[in-house]
Structure 1
Amino acid sequence: MGFRLSSGAVSAPRVASTAFHDDTWGEASFGTPAQHVRLAQECEEHGWDGFFTWDAISMDEPGFDTMATWDPFGVLAGAAAVTERITLGAMVFALPRHRPWELAQRALTVDHLSGGRLVLPVGVGVPSEWGFTSVPGAPTELRDRAAVLDDVLAWLKRSWSGETFSYEGERLRTGDFTFPVAPVRGHIPVWPVAVWDAARPPLKSLLRALRWDGMMPQVRGESPEDAEAGPEAMRELVAWIAEQRGPDAGPFEVVAQGRLDADGGKAAAQARAMAEAGATWWIESWWDPSTSTPEGLLEKVRQGPPRL
Structure 2
Amino acid sequence: MDIGVLLPTGIAAGAGDDPRELIAFGRTAEGFGLSSLFVNDSLISPRIEALTMLAALAATTATATLGTGALLPFLRRPIQAAQALASIDLLSGGRLAVAVGAGFPGRFGRPFYTLSEVPWQRRFARLDETVALWRALWAGATEFHGEFFRYDDIPPATQPFRAGGPPIWLGGATPAALVRTGRGYDGWLPYPPDPADYAAGLLEIHKAATDAGRATGAITPALFVTALIDEDEDRAGRQIEQYATTTYGMPLTELNKIQAVVAGSPDRVRAAVNQYIDAGARHIVVRLGGLGLRSQHQQLERVASLVPAWRHHAALLP
TM-score bin, normalised by smaller chain: 0.7 to 0.9
TM-score, structure 2 as length reference: 0.74
What pairs with 1:235-254 in structure 2 (closer than 5 Å)? Answer: 235-246=199-210, 248-254=215-221
The residue matched to 2:223 in structure 1 has which SS? strand
Preserved CA contact (<8 Å) 1:162 1:178:
no
In the TM superposition, residue 76 of structure 1 has moved relative to its aligned partner by 0.6
Amino acid at match of 2:226: R
Deviations 1:138-173 (A, max 9, x none): 222xx422122122111101111124x222222222
Name 2:261's counterpart in structure 1. Answer: none
Runs of 5+ consecutive residues of structure 2 not aligned to the other structure: 14-18, 230-264, 311-318
Name 1:175's counterpart in structure 2. 152
SS at match of 2:80: helix
Query: 1:95, 1:125 within 8 Å by CA — same for their partners in 2?
Result: no
Unaligned runs of 5+ in 1: 1-5, 7-22, 197-201, 219-227
Identity of aligned residues (%): 23
The amino acid of 2:299's aligned partner reads K
Q: In structure 2, what residue type is equivalent to 1:138?
A: V
Matched, 1:26 2:33: no
- In the TM superposition, what are the counterparts of 1:101-140 in structure 2 within 5 Å? 101-127=79-105, 128=107, 130-135=111-116, 137-140=117-120
TM-score normalised by length of structure 1: 0.76
Give me the whole-angstrom Cα distance separating, in 1, the residues matched to 2:305 and 2:132.
Answer: 35
Alignment of 1:1-308 (within 5 A): 6=1, 23-29=2-8, 30-32=11-13, 33-56=19-42, 58-59=43-44, 64=45, 68-127=46-105, 128=107, 130-135=111-116, 137-140=117-120, 143-163=121-141, 165-186=142-163, 187-196=165-174, 202-203=175-176, 205-210=177-182, 211-218=184-191, 228-246=192-210, 248-262=215-229, 263-286=265-288, 292-303=291-302, 304-306=304-306, 307-308=309-310
**79-88 or 174-183, which moves further after superposition?**
174-183
Q: More deviation in 249-258 or 105-114?
A: 249-258
* Residue-by-residue CA offset, 1:181-239 (whole Å, 9 max, x unaligned): 5322212110112324xxxxx23x22222211011235xxxxxxxxx342111111222
Distance 1:292 1:170 in 2: 43
Any idea what the Cα deviations from partners look like across 1:254-280, whole Å, max 9, x if unmatched? 221222351222222122111111011
Q: In 2, are the aligned partners of 1:96 and 1:125 still within 8 Å (CA)?
A: no
Over 3 Å counting, the alpha-carbon distance change for 1:293 and 1:261 in structure 2 is closer
Change (3 A) 1:243 1:132: closer
Q: State the one-letter code of the partner of 2:132.
A: A
RMSD (Å), alpha carbons: 2.2
Please tell me whether Structure 1 or Structure 2 has the larger radius of gyration of its CA atoms.
Answer: 2
- Structure with greater contact order relative to length (CA < 8 Å, sep ≥ 6): 1
Amino acid at match of 1:206: L
State the SS of the aligned residue for 1:250. Answer: helix
Once the 2 structures are TM-superposed, how far is the Cα of residue 253 of structure 1 from its aligned partner? 1.1
State the secondary structure of the residue aligned to 1:92. strand
* 1:65-112 residue CA offsets vs partner (Å, 9 max, x unmatched): xxx222211111111111111111122100122211110111111101
Name the CA distance, whole Å, in 1 between partners of 2:300 and 2:288. Answer: 12
